[in-house]
Amino acid sequence: MAEKAKQQQQRFAFSFPVTVVVSAIAYIYISTVFVFIDRWLGLFSSPGIANAVVFTFIAFMSVFSYRSAVFMDPGQVPSTYSPDVEDTQTPIHEIKRKGGDLRYCQKCSHYKPPRAHHCRVCKRCVLRMDHHCIWINNCVGHANYKIFFIFVTYAVIACIYSLVLLVGSLAYDGLWDEEKNDGSFRTVYVISGLLLVPLSIALCVLLGWHIYLILHNNTTLEYYEGVRALWLAEKGGSIYKHPYDLGPYENLTSVLGPNILSWLWPTANHIGSGLRFRTVYDLTKGASTSK
């Protein structure tokens, strides 16, 4: 309990990157609603109100999912966990690259479940660890991976939406029209452009990367481990296949949930314990049983 309380205190402590993200969200929201929408469409006109409501909803979902990703525990390995090598329902046990022993964390003093890794920043093992993200001051793991993905999705939509409104407002208003604009509005447009363009590009790349990972049921760590495993397999004349790749649709539902209507909602009630994951061997076993 004391260790868990210490970990929670670390997540709740001041984080400069988190402060930067919160400040950027606040600045983008205020400039979009009270400058771009207001000066282009009129904030209290029908189009202005409609755009303000839609953008506010997207911003709210971004903030809500971001908060959840920051404060949610990504998944902790139970202290009582021990792999059962005689369990016929578990067709795969991950082993060390060297020696072939079951994966054991010397720092945490317990066995590691499949897909779990030790985080040097959080100083503990995380279930289905993807990576440690400084921008949420937390690991992205089994419990908060979907929520992190939803945050990135809404952040991309918000940035592109704001950028469209910026360009529309700029075209309508005329940035350099001295009669209409004072220096403060020009500054808002310039800062917003310098913020939104690189941010939109970076977030789109990040979103595309995680869409690729989800479709292949991979994590960032597993991807780089898989590249090495593929190279070693080809060198040895064999074929390597990621054992958790169940096919695009199965991979999607395993992360986002079985109900397509909840895919863009930041909840993850379907994920299970994180101690065992379906593999291609389960599919093979099911196919052979049905014959």
Q: Which of 122, 133, 159, 204 is catalytic?
A: 133
Look at residue 177 and tell me whether its pLDDT is greater than 70: no
pLDDT of residue 200: 97
pLDDT band at 79 (very low <50, low <70, confident <90, very high): confident
pLDDT of residue 287: 47
Summarize the confidence of residues 198-218 as an average pLDDT: 96
Catalytic site includes residue 133: yes
For residues 3, 16, 54, 256, the Cα torsion angle rounded to the nearest 10 degrees is: -40
115-152 residue pLDDT tens: 999 999 999 999 999 999 999 999 999 999 999 999 99
* Range with lowest mean pLDDT among 103-107, 170-174, 244-248: 170-174
* Range with lowest mean pLDDT among 47-51, 83-87, 127-131, 241-245: 83-87
Q: How far apart are CA 120 and CA 248, in angstroms?
A: 32
User: At 34, is the secondary structure helix, strand, or coil?
Assistant: helix
Q: How far apart are CA 100 and CA 127, in angstroms?
A: 21
Q: Taking Cα atoms as reference points, which of 133, 128, 132 lies closest to residue 112?
A: 128
Q: Taking Cα atoms as reference points, which of 81, 73, 77 lies closest to residue 127?
A: 77
Structure tokens at 274: 């994180």
Q: Taking Cα atoms as reference points, which of 147, 111, 118, 154 lies closest to residue 270?
A: 147
23-73 residue pLDDT tens: 999 999 999 999 999 989 999 999 999 999 999 999 999 999 999 999 999
Look at residue 82 and tell me whether its pLDDT is greater than 90: no
Average pLDDT, the chain: 84
Q: Please state, for a pLDDT cut of 90, what percent of the chain lies above it.
A: 55
The domain tally of the chain equals: 1
End-to-end Cα distance, the chain: 49
DSSP 22: H
Look at residue 243 and tell me whether its pLDDT is greater than 80: yes
Q: How far apart are CA 136 and CA 206, in angstroms?
A: 14
pLDDT of residue 93: 58
pLDDT of residue 28: 97
Q: How far apart are CA 194 and CA 225, in angstroms?
A: 36
Q: How far apart are CA 124 and CA 260, in angstroms?
A: 33
Q: How far apart are CA 117 and CA 127, in angstroms?
A: 7
- Domain span at residue 12 reads 1-174+183-289
pLDDT of residue 231: 47
DSSP 95: B
pLDDT of residue 11: 55
H-type helices in the chain, by residue range? 2-12, 16-31, 38-40, 46-71, 145-173, 183-215, 220-235, 248-256, 280-290
Q: How far apart are CA 51 and CA 32, in angstroms?
A: 10
83 or 55, which is more confident? 55
Q: Taking Cα atoms as reference points, which of 136, 97, 142 lies closest to residue 116?
A: 142
Summarize the confidence of residues 68-93 as an average pLDDT: 79
Ordered DSSP codes for 160-227: HHHHHHHHHHHHHH-TT-TTT--HHHHHHHHHHHHHHHHHHHHHHHHHHHHHHHHHTT--HHHHHHHH
Q: Taking Cα atoms as reference points, which of 142, 118, 138 lies closest to residue 128?
A: 142
